[in-house]
Structure 1
Amino acid sequence: MLTDLIALSALCLHALGAVAAMHAVVHARTPQGAMAWALGLVLLPYVTLVPYLYLGSSQVHGYLETPRRLPGAPPVEAGTHPACLRLDALATLAGRPFRRGHALQLLVNGEAAFDAMFAAIATARHEVLAQFFIVHDDTLGQRFARVLLDRAAAGVRVHLLYDGIGSHELPESYVDALRTGGVEVHAFAGRRWRNRFQLNFRNHRKLLVIDGAQGFVGGLNVGDEYLGARPPLSPWRDTHLGFAGPAVADLRQAFADDWRWTTGMRLPDGTPTAPRGDASLLVVTSGPADPQETGSLCFTALIHAARERLWLSTPYFVPDAAVMAALQLAVLRGVDVRVLIPSRPDHRGVFLASTLHAHEAVQRGIGIYRYQPGFLHQKALLVDGHTAAIGSMNLDSRSFRLNFELSAIAVDDGFARAVEAMLQEDLALCRPVTETEYRQAPYLRRVAMHVARLFDPIL
């Protein structure tokens, strides 16, 4: 009897595995991912069926029920920087135009960024919208909570979104204190129960909107490590962007979309923001709900736009074939291509795969540089002398197709010069990667690199 029960259970698991394998073949974002899941689900459903529910099966269908912009709307507003025309495909991809009239502030490290963000929150009179992948209950996290509670006590509408997996260490007492003080706070997960345990399809965005007039985006989360208090990764290298102008409304809409998906509630409509400067700006949101690979296409479009210089900084260098080809083509047309990556790992598997990709990039003539002082978490990109992007997108498959991401693309000669100066200072603290890094690595470490690369679709 027990033998029959075991046999029946095994048969049921294999049947469920076959059904899940068909689902994976139809819905996986990459052929490699489809093949890996299908083989595992058919041959080893005892091991792979439950992980597939929380890693491979997307639960973001219906995230956006309407297009962001009606087809046929112009991708570039009148009066924007001439270089915006070279990037009009990006605006079409983003579903919103390049907008003119922005004042920009480059926040080159965590101290500058949080000082600016906390100061902006303190000026709020109507609304504070904050969203981070990670919020910690530490010194910085407590400062963050105090400024939010202060504004809520003053009658300001305060909304906070954090990612349920990224902030898994955040205690309920922290959240309860915010709610008791009048802050509307929710963990991004969606209203379906499976979303709450989904390890993929996380919200990796970092944004702040004050009264619909000031916006902040970048790579910094709320935690002491982002101020350098996490040995051995410290000092932490990261960058944020503050801006004012019409595109703040697009940033607010990105938050409103996530808020509605998470809570089922709509935010009140915001008011348009008047021009505040001369810079042109495009807010690009991407994620697993997009019908196309928005993150990868965004990087590819920016790389193809470069004629003289393409410098970028990323903590994880795991490019897909399209991005690697775009980087190589840029080198072939004489562009100065430089990629800054960390010298210290925060995720061993990603670091191993990144090291192999760095070796192959060097063989193709792409300049790869390892930042020496501490961990490089910065997501910054510079095109020629006119365009710079700051945001949350890493150069890896997780940002390309598994996570919700956000980037601001600024077209302004003065801001580009500021980003160039910042990256020049970073490059002065880097060591160039040569082919010897891979060739002199122990054999088993090289094997580990190639094994890690097999997992590129989920890194």
Structure 2
Amino acid sequence: MSLTPFHLGSLLALLHLLGILAAIHAILTVRTSQGAVAWAVSLLAAPYFTLIPYLILGRSKFSGYVEARRQRNRLMHSRVGEIDWHAGQPGALQRNVGFSALTRLTGMPFTANNGVRLLINGDATFAAIFEALRRARSYIIVQFFIVHDDALGRELQQILLERAAAGVKVYFLYDSIGSYDLPAQYTETLRDGGVHAHAFATQRSLIKRFLNRFQLNFRNHRKIVVIDGDRAFIGGHNVGVEYLGRKPPLSPWRDTHIDVTGPAVIGIQRAFVEDWHWATGEIPSVKRLPAPSGASMHCQVVPSGPADRLETCSLFFVECINAAEQRVWITTPYFIPDEAVFSALRLAVLRGVDVRLLIPSRRDHYVVFEATTLYAYDAVRAGIQVYQYQPGFVHQKVVLIDDAAAAVGSANLDNRSFRLNFEIMLLTVDDVFAKDVEHMLDTDFAQARPMTRDAYYRLPFWRRIAMHVARLFAPIL
């Protein structure tokens, strides 16, 4: 049957009608006005190009997820009770260390008596994690966004199987989107060996999980390892040989993790327990009382996600930037800020603060890289010092505030981390640790090239067009 002009006209009319309905849906549901406008205009003007992308990437709210997640969390907390942050920790709760808004925002206190150690790059990170896993005696928590079935992934698998065989309870959670290529055999082997392994998905029913395959917006981007409730690891690394810097063209891979002891471990663990309870309906058997660390650092755990009543991740960065009096140095692989964060950065410059950004000079995702580069040029014009890391790909998520505060975790400076992903950061207030972070970032900046105000105008015209087109997708990048 040939396609007549009548049939073609009817098809185009139907597409435009669906585009109108989708545009109305975007206006009603997309979280930011910029995102709503971007989707609505594109759906009305060219629905035949944007309908399918909107179905895949358009939602910035879970259908019924937010309240369901909150109900699950309330149920979980009612079953396990609230954490006694004072237990066994004289003076563990301190309220006069600044950043008071974060305590109210997260529902967790700023705690003292913590120890935090930098782990620079993949070899140091996984050596420390694997050593700690092998020493586990009670339970292990492992959660990553990406797990590959490669040499590093199989080493992790083997360690988890060994500890499970030794009677250690092992909980393994991975994101179903980030680990889309993880073979079923990998997790089946873990389960056969006694490991509690489960995928995190935004929907739990079989039908909704199938539909979620076509909804790529919501991802659990956290990287958490906890051993016996006494020691935790969080940061930017996932599980794959590329994170060891052994996979061109992005190698050497530059990333940062942290090794945490003290009451902050319980806060990190709580974020995992909420995710595990959502994914499985079960509450893992974990320690609830903070363990002494022998250290004296003040720390604030900042978990964030799309079920939060406020946009925790974006507000976290705004709070950190606004708190800076002398400097705020930030390193991120993706710089696609919302207006609140960008305004905070510009205001910091006007206050005389030394504002620096470290971003990649190599791309791992073309559209994100082009949008990041354009925002970086805008930042330079606003007086922000932007540096592009030269040796390889920089993936670390680190913030340094003045001479006393620093944060490390999984959150990027982009809309995805601000509003769509589940993330976790740890803010520390400690002069010695801040000095360690300063030394690390000084080394990174020394291997980076500063961006200049006029460099944008020296780019080929087609590249500038590509960058501006890429930025149109900022609400979903």
Residue 142 of structure 2: aligned partner: 130
Residue 174 of structure 1: aligned partner: 186
Q: Deviations over 1:261-317 (max 9, x none)?
A: 222222235321233110011111112222222111111100011111211111111
Structure 2, unpaired ranges of 5+? none
Residue 377 in structure 1 maps to residue 389 in structure 2: no
Using the TM superposition, give the Cα deviation of residue 12 of structure 1 relative to its aligned residue in structure 2, in angstroms. Answer: 6.1
What's the secondary structure of 2:70's corresponding residue? Answer: coil
Number of residue equivalences: 457
What CA distance in whole angstroms lies between the structure 1 residues aligned with 2:50 and 2:384?
38
Q: TM-score, normalised by structure 2?
A: 0.89
What CA distance in whole angstroms lies between the structure 1 residues aligned with 2:334 and 2:101?
25
Residue 244 of structure 1: aligned partner: 261
C-alpha spacing 1:432/1:48, structure 2 compared with 1 (3 Å)? closer
Q: Which residue of 238, 250, 256 maps to 1:233?
A: 250
Q: TM-score, normalised by structure 1?
A: 0.93
Which amino acid in 1 is paired with 2:307?
A
Residue 354 in structure 1 maps to residue 372 in structure 2: yes
C-alpha spacing 1:362/1:84, structure 2 compared with 1 (3 Å)? farther
C-alpha spacing 1:139/1:246, structure 2 compared with 1 (3 Å)? same
C-alpha spacing 1:196/1:95, structure 2 compared with 1 (3 Å)? farther
Q: Which residue of 225, 246, 271 maps to 1:208?
A: 225
The within-5 A match list for 1:373-452 is 373-452=391-470
- Whether the 8 Å CA contact 1:164–1:187 is kept in 2: the answer is yes
What's the secondary structure of 1:266's corresponding residue? Answer: coil
Structure 1, unpaired ranges of 5+? none
- Whether the 8 Å CA contact 2:300–2:426 is kept in 1: the answer is yes
- Whether the 8 Å CA contact 2:94–2:111 is kept in 1: the answer is no
Residue 458 in structure 1 maps to residue 476 in structure 2: yes
What CA distance in whole angstroms lies between the structure 1 residues aligned with 2:451 and 2:10?
55
Residue 234 of structure 2: aligned partner: 217
C-alpha spacing 1:213/1:187, structure 2 compared with 1 (3 Å)? same
Which amino acid in 2 is paired with 1:282?
Q
Residue 64 in structure 1 maps to residue 70 in structure 2: yes
Of 170-179 and 186-195, deviating more is 186-195
Q: Which residue of 97, 108, 111 maps to 2:123?
A: 111
Residue 87 in structure 1 maps to residue 99 in structure 2: yes
Q: Deviations over 1:198-243 (max 9, x none)?
A: 2111111111111111111100000000000111110000000111
Of 375-384 and 85-94, deviating more is 85-94
Give RMSD over aligned pairs: 2.6
Using the TM superposition, give the Cα deviation of residue 16 of structure 1 relative to its aligned residue in structure 2, in angstroms. Answer: 4.9
What CA distance in whole angstroms lies between the structure 1 residues aligned with 2:305 and 2:465?
32
What CA distance in whole angstroms lies between the structure 2 residues aligned with 1:364 and 1:82?
37
Using the TM superposition, give the Cα deviation of residue 354 of structure 1 relative to its aligned residue in structure 2, in angstroms. Answer: 1.2
Of 372-381 and 76-85, deviating more is 76-85
Of 46-55 and 154-163, deviating more is 46-55
Residue 120 of structure 1: aligned partner: 132
C-alpha spacing 1:445/1:343, structure 2 compared with 1 (3 Å)? same
Using the TM superposition, give the Cα deviation of residue 349 of structure 1 relative to its aligned residue in structure 2, in angstroms. Answer: 1.1
Which amino acid in 2 is paired with 1:298?
F
What CA distance in whole angstroms lies between the structure 2 residues aligned with 1:359 and 1:15?
39
- Whether the 8 Å CA contact 2:38–2:472 is kept in 1: the answer is no
Using the TM superposition, give the Cα deviation of residue 181 of structure 1 relative to its aligned residue in structure 2, in angstroms. Answer: 1.1
